[in-house]
Amino acid sequence: MVASQVPNLELEKLIKVARQEPGRALEQEFYSAREFHTADMQAVYRKQWLLAGHVSSIPERGQYFLFEIDKESIIIVRENEASVNAFYNVCRHRGSRICLEREGRRKLLTCPYHAWTYSLDGTLKVARLMPEDFKKEEYGLRACHIRLFEGLIFINLSNGTPPDFDEAYRSMLPLAQQQGLATAKIAVKQRYPTRANWKLVAENFMECYHCQSAHPEYCAVHPQDQLLAVGAGPGSGSGEDAAAYQPILDLWEAESAAMGYLNDMIDAGVLSLGMQQAARYPINSDKGFLSETIDGRPACKKLMGDFKQADGGETALAFNPFSYVLASNDFAVMFRWTPQDEMNTDVEVTWLVHEDAEENVDYDPRNVAYVWDTTLKQDKKITEDNQSGVCSESYQPGPYSTQEARNVVFKQWYLDQLESSL
Ligand code: FES
Ligand SMILES: [Fe+2]
Pocket of ligand 1 (CB under 6 A): 91, 93-96, 111, 113-116
Residues in the chain: 422
Residue 10 has a pLDDT of 85
Q: Which atom of ligand 1 is nearest the CA belonging to 95? A: 1
pLDDT recorded at residue 86:
98
Residue 5, pLDDT score: 47
CA of 375 to the centre of ligand 2 (A): 6
- Report yes or no: 85 and 67 within 8 Å, Cβ to Cβ: no
For a ligand 1 pocket test, name from 93, 129, 130 the mutation site with the most ligand atoms within 8 angstroms of its C-beta.
93
The minimum-distance atom of ligand 1 relative to the CA of 98 is: 2
Q: Is the separation of the CB atoms in 299 and 291 below 8 Å? A: yes
CA of 119 to the centre of ligand 1 (A): 15
> Distance from the CA of 378 to the center of ligand 2, in angstroms?
7
3-state per-residue secondary structure call for the chain: CHHHHCCHHHHHHHHHHHHHCCCECCCHHHHHCHHHHHHHHHHHHCCCCEEEEEHHHCCCCCEEEEEEECCEEEEEEEEECCEEEEEECCCCCCCCCCCCCCEEECCCEECCCCCCEECCCCCEEECCCCCCCCCHHHCCCCECEEEEECCEEEEECCCCCCCCHHHHHHHHHHHHHHHCHHHCEEEEEEECCECCCHHHHHHHHCCCCCHHHHCHHHHHHCCHHHHHHHECECCCCCHHHHHHHHHHHHHHHHHHHHCCCCCCEEECCCCCCCCCEEEEEECCCCCCCCCCCCCCCCCECCCCCCCCCCCCEEEEEEEECCEEEEECCCCEEEEEEEEEECCEEEEEEEEEECCCCCECCCECHHHHHHHHHHHHHHHHHHHHHHHHHHCCCCCCCCECCHHHHHHHHHHHHHHHHHHHHC
Q: Which amino acid is at 199?
A: K
| Amino acid making up residue 347 | V
| Residues 213, 216, 222, 224, CA torsion sign | positive
- Which ligand gives the minimal distance to the CA of 208? 2
Closest CA to 165 of 77, 85, 273, 88: 273
* Nearest-atom index, ligand 1, CA of 94: 1
Among the atoms of ligand 1, which is closest to the Cα of residue 115? Answer: 3
Which residue's CA is the closest to the ligand 1 atom numbered 3?
Answer: 114
The per-residue pLDDT string of the chain (422 residues; one tens digit each, 9 = 90 and over) reads: 333 344 577 889 999 999 999 999 999 999 999 999 999 999 999 999 999 999 999 999 999 999 999 999 999 999 999 999 999 999 999 999 999 999 999 999 999 999 999 999 999 999 999 999 999 999 999 999 999 999 999 999 999 999 999 999 999 999 999 999 999 999 999 999 999 999 999 999 999 999 999 999 999 999 999 999 999 988 999 999 999 999 999 999 999 999 999 998 899 999 999 999 999 999 999 999 999 999 999 999 999 999 999 999 999 999 999 999 999 999 999 999 999 999 999 999 999 999 999 999 999 999 999 999 999 999 999 999 999 999 999 999 999 999 999 999 999 999 999 999 88
pLDDT score at 9: 73
CA of 111 to the centre of ligand 1 (A): 6
**Mutation test residue for ligand 1: of 73, 109, 116, 126, the one with most atoms within 8 Å of CB:** 116
Smallest-distance ligand from the CA of 95? 1
pTM assigned to the model:
0.96
Go through the domains of the chain in sequence order and give each one's CATH number. Answer: 53-156 (2.102.10.10), 171-417 (3.90.380.10)
Residue among 75, 100, 111 to mutate when testing ligand 1 (max atoms within 8 A of CB)? 111
Cβ atoms of 174 and 339 within 8 Å: the answer is no
| Pocket residue to mutate for ligand 1, from 91, 98, 99, 142, most atoms within 8 A of Cβ | 91
The pLDDT value given to residue 318: 98
Q: Which residues contact 31 (CB under 8 A, 6 or more apart)?
A: 197, 199, 200, 387, 390, 391
Q: What are the angstrom distances between the C-alpha of 277 and each of 54, 248, 264?
A: 20, 20, 10
In whole angstroms, give the CA distance from residue 147 to residue 44.
18
Residue (of 375, 405, 397, 406) closest to 25 by Cα position: 397
pLDDT of residue 167: 97
Q: How far apart are CA 283 and CA 33, in angstroms?
A: 39
Atom of ligand 1 nearest to the CA of 116: 3
The protein residue with its alpha carbon nearest to ligand 1, atom 4, reads: 114
Q: What is the residue with the minimal CA distance to atom 1 of ligand 1? A: 94
